[in-house]
Structure 1
Amino acid sequence: MTKILLTIHILAVIVAIGPVAVAASMFPPLARKALASGNDEDRATLRLLNRICKVYALVSIAVPVFGFATAGIMHVTGNLWIIVSIVLTGVAALVLGLLVLPYQQRVLDGTPTPTAQLAMYTGVFNLLWAAVTVVMIFRPGSTLDS
């Protein structure tokens, strides 16, 4: 059962977080271009990228759900590497929900928005996920290392 849950957890990360990371990263440079040109095609693409971010952000709820299930079966929920990854995942979710998505919406609404700041928040979101990946691979303090 552990291998099945771990597989689902990893697939959820790839399928859910990957598209958010890519779409969110594509948004700021296209926003700069769209704001400068006023091109309707660029604005339509921005709406699509924002929708991808929103939909996959909801789908990504499966990541911690299956992560907790896997950690529970493995009896590692109190390990440092799990706690650190949970905290980093929570911070990444907050950055996405409180900064990246609202800034994207401001651009779509035509509100003057610093796209450099949006790019920074998106970079922080992606770095947090990179950090989670490193923690999950190296598992500091783990007793599971061979």
Structure 2
Amino acid sequence: MTKVLLSLHVLAAVLAIGPVAVAASMFPAALRRIDGAAAGGGDPAGPGDPAGPGALAGLRQLHRVCRVYAGIGVAVPVFGFATAGSLGVLGSGWLIASILLTAVAAGLLALLILPAQDGALAAASGGAPGTVTGLAASARRLAMLAGVFNLLWATVTVLMIVRPGSTTGV
């Protein structure tokens, strides 16, 4: 049963967290393209948009991927706790550190990244004068947040593989 739980945990991590990490990283660049089009006087949603046709639709799609897969990502800690329980490692330091880092990453996504994406989408959709500066600042902030989010997940992945103090020889 442990092998099944571990397989489900890893699959959930790859299939749920991977898309969020990629989409969150792509969102700021897509926002910058829309910002550049707005600065040049183009209509971000129009076919003659220098950012490319459907740039705003692409931005919405990236946000939707982040939102939907964040919800699916709840399966990762669920299968993780089940796996840790069956392995008897719930009190291990590497696992506690991984749990804390996962909680920080989830909080970052839910409390900062997704709301900032919502705000940037609203500003980009409105196309009101003066939003260009706001879009550029939002893109910079979202790029930084996505980088921290991805770094947290990379650290958790390394902890899951290396498992400091492990006696398995791996």
Shift of 1:144: 3.7
Within the candidate set 26, 44, 57, 1:39 is matched to 44
Asked if residue 125 in structure 1 is aligned to residue 149 in structure 2, the reply is yes
Shift of 1:99: 1.1
Shift of 1:102: 1.0
Shift of 1:140: 1.1
* Cα separation, 1, equivalents of 2:87 and 2:66: 31
TM superposition score normalised by structure 1 = 0.96
Structure 1: unaligned runs, 5 residues or longer? none
* Cα separation, 1, equivalents of 2:79 and 2:157: 15
* Cα separation, 1, equivalents of 2:113 and 2:169: 36
In the alignment of these two chains, the number of paired residues is 146
User: 8 Å contact 1:80–1:142 — kept in the other structure?
Assistant: no
Q: Which runs of 4+ in 1 moved over 3 A?
A: 143-146
Q: What is the alpha-carbon root mean square deviation over aligned residues? A: 1.2
User: 8 Å contact 1:20–1:57 — kept in the other structure?
Assistant: yes
Correspondences of 1:68-79 after superposition (within 5 Å): 68-79=81-92
Shift of 1:35: 2.0
TM superposition score normalised by structure 2 = 0.82
- Which protein is richer in helix relative to its size? 1
Which residue in 2 is equivalent to 1:58?
A: 71
Which residue in 2 is equivalent to 1:20?
A: 20
Q: Which has the larger radius of gyration?
A: 2
Letter in 2 for 1:29: A
Q: Deviations over 1:19-58 (max 9, x none)?
A: 0000110000110111221421111101000000000000
Within the candidate set 132, 140, 146, 2:164 is matched to 140
Counting aligned pairs with the same residue, the percent is 56
Shift of 1:100: 0.9
Shift of 1:120: 0.1
User: 8 Å contact 1:79–1:142 — kept in the other structure?
Assistant: no
Structure 2: unaligned runs, 5 residues or longer? 38-42, 46-53, 124-130
Which residue in 1 is equivalent to 2:49?
A: none
